[in-house]
Amino acid sequence: MIADGGSTDGTVAIIRGFSGDHPELTIRVIDNLRRVIPAALNAAIEDSTGELVLRLDAHSAPAADYIERCVAALETTQAANVGGLWEILPSDDHWIAQGIAAAAAHPIGAGDARYRVSGQAGPVETVPFGAFRRSWLDRVGQFSEDLHSNEDYEYNWRIRRLGGTVWFDPTIRSVYYARRTLSELARQYARYGFWKARMVMRHPDSLRWRQAVPPLFVLSSLGLLVAASFAQPAGIALAVEWGAYMLLLLLAGLGSAVRGRDPALFFGFPLAAGTMHAAWGAAFWIGLVTGLTGGRVGSNQP
């Protein structure tokens, strides 16, 4: 089941050609008229019949043994949902794209998300994509279509609240292609931050420390900037805060440049990480404030 959101890049023609070359496979294209991820997922799941349901997204390519390892993990762990490790690669050879991919796989950009930074197999908060048991999909219900992003984390939150396990297995691997430019990255992380705020309004206890840091940093920076106009200590505090932040990013960029043997990462990494933090943190407050004041999604959505 392939959910297509009105693509104009030849995707449907490629699917039809592949389907014609492989008549032994049952391939169906579902029109995602709303053009949002959770609507696509709900339509595809409803159209499926198997006891196991695997989700795969664009911007990614699963390893050859991806399905095999997902099925094995479901059978051995009895988890409700299993997923694995992203190998994050740049979309092209430009130094900005290289920096974006490096930052997206680093704890500064990804926090402690095991599927981005790797780690041992075990229960986690969320995994990318996911391989689900039908019985758990029926129990948890549909993906929330009013969350245009962060729908996977919210769904895994509901699984865990009902006593299910979300399991990370680092042998389940897929390649994820990071955004190409800083503007694309900013739009992506603004969307993440906006919809994370809307999820937090629904599940306040789902917020984790790593997710709170960017919004708090943005808020403190704005507060100190305003206060600095009439209080010198606030200006000093702002300079110290930003000096420490820039030093942290530059040191991380240096480490990435050394490990990757690419001097351009010294500049690309800090630019990418800073874009992630600023876009995510600012959009979080936009999502929260507009949500609390009854703002409609659309005009205020990143």
Instruction: Write the pLDDT tens digit of every residue in 247-260.
Output: 999 999 999 999 98
pLDDT at 169 over 80: yes
Spelled out in words, what is the top-level CATH class assigned to the domain 32-292? alpha beta
pLDDT at 182 over 90: yes
Percentage of the chain modeled with pLDDT above 90: 80
Percentage of the chain modeled with pLDDT above 70: 97
Four-residue CA torsion sign, 71, 75, 81, 82: negative
pTM of the complete model beyond 0.95: no
Residue pair 245/281 in contact (Cβ under 8 Å)? The answer is no
Give the other-Cβ count within 10 Å of 252's Cβ.
21
Residues 6+ apart with CB under 8 A from 230: none
Instruction: Of 150, 114, 247, 27, give the one whose Cα is nearest residue 255.
Output: 247
* Confidence grade of residue 295 (pLDDT, cut at 50, 70, 90): low
Instruction: Write the pLDDT tens digit of every residue in 73-85.
Output: 999 999 999 999 9
Instruction: Of 253, 301, 300, give the one whose Cα is nearest residue 274.
Output: 253
* Confidence grade of residue 299 (pLDDT, cut at 50, 70, 90): very low
